[in-house]
């Protein structure tokens, strides 16, 4: 009965949630630029009785919206930043929209709408049944930079929570016990001395040589770091023309590992490599720390609650038009579709996912700043089918599905699961008791410490502030 009731409450907001997801999709904004998305979320929540704090944590595009009183306090982690270069129409071919720099190639417009929908539905249930408890919607900027939630955590915005819930668009419906990786992101800037590359190269000091030596050092370092740690890099600046010794060069590095401590240890080694490369080339190096986050720490107790909700809530059937669009998209990656159909036990004729997969264990090596919240409060993370089976991560195909009814159906399913799991937590005190016991064992008494230096915060905002003109 309660499952049907909370699902109906989400359905009550169906058109408003679809409209919200489409508005955010139609005007995609980059990290720390999500002014429109944040305001649209704030407006709908404020309209329905939430107390909204804009600029939460002194972050321009962060939100905190609350309804209710007392404990338990349940948070829904909305996201709304888009990705550069992934603009696309909601169609079966690559078709960037004119004038759009960004696109929702990770479906964050759907995350925002689903979390708003769950918050509204749970609010209605609290009011109708006179339940004790508080529901909080968080508008979290810059997930793609892996910095939004850490900075919100630094400001203490999650400290009062008893539980946090979030979903993510994917090709399938599943809960997960798999931990995403912790990460540090840093840019290394080398300064050298120009000279004519042919007539007097001995007068130059090549910043590019320094970058290359650092990268070579990184390749040798791979043998001496934990086997589940990863290093990847990209040269972002390396001079202008070959006949001038480059006096400026930069390289950006990601350091990933399941444990935060391993990331920090490997990063320290990387900094030493950078300094050594500078010494070998007679250059100077400066380090621009760009971000960092914790790995995942999904709570088994809460994940089980989410899974039960997922099994009890009906997934909407796909229409022929939706299946046809998915087929057009899947044709580009037919090998990937075949592999996933086999892995998921689907007919090879399937184009979109139906059903619920067994809970996923392990990690694919990816990262999310949800991990920072999960180290503060018991957290559950799950996915719903919002895209064609073969869509690769961070791809224009996901943008297409995120602006289509395919993504909207997955979003509404996700909202219902979030709302039902939230309601179960509100009405069954034993859930939080067990979740907290597990959380204490998993964290082993360690307290969360924001991995981003305070000095980096202003630089992050400045780097991503929209330019005039």
For 228-272, what is the HEC assignment? CCEEEEEEEECCCCCCECCCEEEEEEEEEECCHHHHHHHHHHHHH
pLDDT-based confidence at 463, cuts 50/70/90?
A: low
pLDDT-based confidence at 73, cuts 50/70/90?
A: very high
Residues 151 and 102 in one domain: yes
Sign of CA dihedral 331, 337, 339, 345: negative
Burial 351-383 (b: 16+ CB within 10 A, else e): bbbeebbebbeebeeebbbbbbbbbbbbbbbbb
pLDDT-based confidence at 360, cuts 50/70/90?
A: confident
The predicted pLDDT at position 468 comes to 43
Examine residue 192 and state whether it is found in any structural domain, yes or no.
yes
The predicted pLDDT at position 382 comes to 95
Q: What percent of the chain has pLDDT over 90?
A: 90
Q: What mean pLDDT do residues 241-252 have? A: 97
Q: End-to-end alpha-carbon separation of the chain, Å?
A: 56
> Residue 193: which CATH number?
3.30.70.360
- Residues whose CB falls within 8 Å of the CB of residue 238, separated by 6 or more in sequence, listed in order: 207, 208, 211, 246, 249
pLDDT-based confidence at 56, cuts 50/70/90?
A: very high
Beta bridge partners of 163: 74
Residues 118 and 174 in one domain: yes
Q: How many domains does the chain have?
A: 2
On whether the CB atoms of residues 415 and 117 are closer than 8 A, the answer is yes
Q: How many Å apart are CA 201 and CA 371, to the nearest integer?
A: 48
pLDDT > 80? residue 364: no
> Is the bond preceding residue 72 a cis peptide, omega within 30 degrees?
yes
- Residues whose CB falls within 8 Å of the CB of residue 349, separated by 6 or more in sequence, listed in order: none
pLDDT > 50? residue 469: no
Residues 127 and 264 in one domain: no
pLDDT higher at 258 or 466: 258
Residues 76 and 158 in one domain: yes
Q: Render pLDDT for 78-137 as a digit per residue (tens, 0 to 9).
A: 999 999 999 999 999 999 999 999 999 999 999 999 999 999 999 999 999 999 999 999
On whether the CB atoms of residues 419 and 10 are closer than 8 A, the answer is yes
Residues 307 and 438 in one domain: yes
Q: Render pLDDT for 381-415 as a digit per residue (tens, 0 to 9).
A: 999 999 999 999 999 999 999 999 999 999 999 99
Q: Tell me the average pLDDT of the chain.
A: 94
pLDDT > 80? residue 457: no
Residues 59 and 172 in one domain: yes
Helix and strand totals (H; E) in the chain = 15, 13
Residues 289 and 299 in one domain: no
* Domain limits for position 193: 182-293
- Residues whose CB falls within 8 Å of the CB of residue 128, separated by 6 or more in sequence, listed in order: none
> Residue 416: which CATH number?
3.40.630.10
pTM, 2 dp? 0.93
């Amino acid at each position: 009965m309660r499952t049907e009731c909370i699902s109906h409450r989400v359905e009550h907001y169906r058109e408003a949630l679809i409209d919200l997801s489409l508005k955010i999709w139609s005007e995609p904004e980059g990290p720390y630029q999500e002014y429109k998305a944040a305001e649209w979320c704030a407006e709908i929540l404020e309209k329905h009785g939430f107390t909204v704090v804009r600029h939460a944590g002194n972050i321009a595009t962060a939100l905190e919206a609350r309804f209710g009183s007392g404990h338990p306090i349940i948070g829904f982690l909305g996201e709304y930043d888009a990705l550069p270069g992934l603009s696309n129409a909601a169609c079966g071919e690559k078709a960037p929209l004119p004038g759009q720099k960004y696109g929702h190639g990770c479906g964050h417009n759907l995350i925002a709408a689903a979390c708003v929908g769950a918050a509204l539905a749970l609010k209605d249930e609290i009011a109708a049944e006179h339940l004790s408890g508080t529901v909080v919607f968080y508008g979290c900027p810059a997930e793609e930079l892996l910095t939004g939630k850490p900075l919100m955590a630094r400001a203490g915005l999650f400290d009062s929570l008893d539980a946090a819930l979030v979903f993510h668009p994917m090709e399938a419906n599943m809960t997960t016990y798999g931990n995403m990786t912790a990460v540090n992101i840093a840019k290394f800037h080398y300064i050298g001395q120009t000279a004519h590359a042919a007539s007097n190269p001995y007068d130059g000091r090549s910043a590019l040589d320094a970058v290359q030596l650092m990268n070579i050092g990184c390749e040798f370092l791979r043998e001496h770091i934990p086997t589940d740690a990863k290093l990847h890099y990209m040269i972002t600046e390396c001079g202008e023309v070959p006949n001038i010794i480059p006096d400026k060069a930069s390289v950006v590095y990601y350091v990933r590992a399941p444990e935060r401590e391993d990331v920090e240890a490997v990063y320290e080694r990387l900094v030493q490599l950078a300094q050594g490369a500078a010494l070998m080339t007679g250059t100077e190096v400066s380090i621009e720390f760009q971000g960092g986050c914790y790995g995942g720490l999904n709570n088994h107790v809460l994940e089980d609650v989410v899974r039960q909700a997922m099994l009890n809530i009906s997934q909407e059937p796909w229409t022929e038009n939706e299946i046809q669009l998915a087929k057009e998209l899947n044709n580009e990656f037919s090998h990937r579709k075949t592999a996933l159909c086999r892995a998921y036990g689907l007919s090879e004729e399937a184009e979109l996912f139906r059903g619920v997969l067994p809970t996923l264990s392990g990690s694919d090596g990816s990262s999310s700043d949800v991990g920072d919240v999960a180290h503060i409060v018991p957290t559950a993370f799950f996915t719903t089918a919002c895209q064609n089976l073969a869509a690769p991560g961070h791809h224009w195909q996901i943008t297409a599905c995120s602006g289509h009814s395919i993504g909207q159906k997955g979003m509404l399913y996700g909202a219902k699961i979030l709302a039902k799991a939230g309601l179960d937590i509100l009405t069954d005190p034993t859930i939080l008791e067990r979740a907290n016991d597990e959380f204490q064992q998993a964290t082993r008494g360690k307290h969360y410490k924001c991995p981003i230096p305070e000095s980096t915060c202003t630089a992050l905002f400045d780097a991503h502030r929209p330019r005039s003109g």
